[in-house]
Amino acid sequence: MGFDPHLLPSMMKDESLIQDLCRFADGILTEKQVRQRWHLADDDIWFALGREEAFVERIEFVRTQRIRSGATKRELAQLHVTKAPAVLDKILSDERASPKHRIDAAKTLDDLAGFAPQTAAEQERVIIRIDLGADVRAKGGVPGPDDVLVYDCAVQPKTKSLDDETVHNQPHPPRIEQQEPIPPIKRGRGRPPGSKNKPKHAPQKSLPGFKTE
């Protein structure tokens, strides 16, 4: 079967193919896996896709988005963690290994097998969803699932700050009991001794030729 160049436009718009080619570029999938999944045994089709600059730029754009969203990290971790049981089995089966290492390997294998009870308490979570599809639509493209960035994180428990602890540990100020008001001192008649103020009722001076009583 020969190469049909009319298939290229539809293939370059397939978001699932772009995702798999990103996985191939990051080492998550092999070239053989991508070719078998998408029936790209014909070298002409494979190399024709690589010569399309717009298609290659789209792959690089989606690849950067996958790295920023953490999708590449998660898929690589899922790929490499499958090697853990074989490594742990070697430690567990090695009689020359220390008992502590063999016990730790057994516990880790038990956790990976899913037999250990889940005792972790449920936590409140915050989910942030950022839609980047507007930029893709503006360029005439079709947004895919990776154009939406989702951040799922647990809410950290509130801890007491140093200032709160300092205020809490400070001693309370002494309580001041309310006392009855002290009555003012009553003075007797007349001016106090040594006062230089004039009396309130000073005798009026008489006019010349008149007597005052």
Taking the mean position of all CA atoms in its chain, how far away is CA 33?
Answer: 36
What is the per-residue pLDDT for 155?
A: 64
* pLDDT tens, position by position, 13-71: 999 999 999 999 999 999 999 999 998 988 988 999 999 999 999 999 999 999 999 99
Nearest to 12 by CA among 42, 56, 77, 64: 56
Q: How far is CA 45 from the centre of its chain?
A: 43
Q: What was the pLDDT predicted at 120?
A: 47
Whole-prediction pTM: 0.50
- The Cα diameter of the chain in Å comes to 152
102-137: pLDDT as tens digits: 999 999 989 888 865 554 445 566 767 666 667 766
**pLDDT over 70, % of the chain:** 55
Q: Mean per-residue pLDDT for 165-188?
A: 60
Question: For all residues of the chain together, what is the average pLDDT?
Answer: 77
Q: Label residue 139 by pLDDT band (50, 70, 90).
A: confident
Higher pLDDT, 187 or 134: 134
Whether 186 contacts 155, CB under 8 Å: no
Based on its alpha-carbon atoms, the radius of gyration of the chain, rounded to whole angstroms, reads: 44
- The structure tokens 């930029």 sit at 135
The tokens describing 205, both together, are 């001076």
Strand partners, 153: 126
Helix H segments across 14-132? 15-25, 31-38, 43-51, 53-69, 71-80, 84-93, 99-113
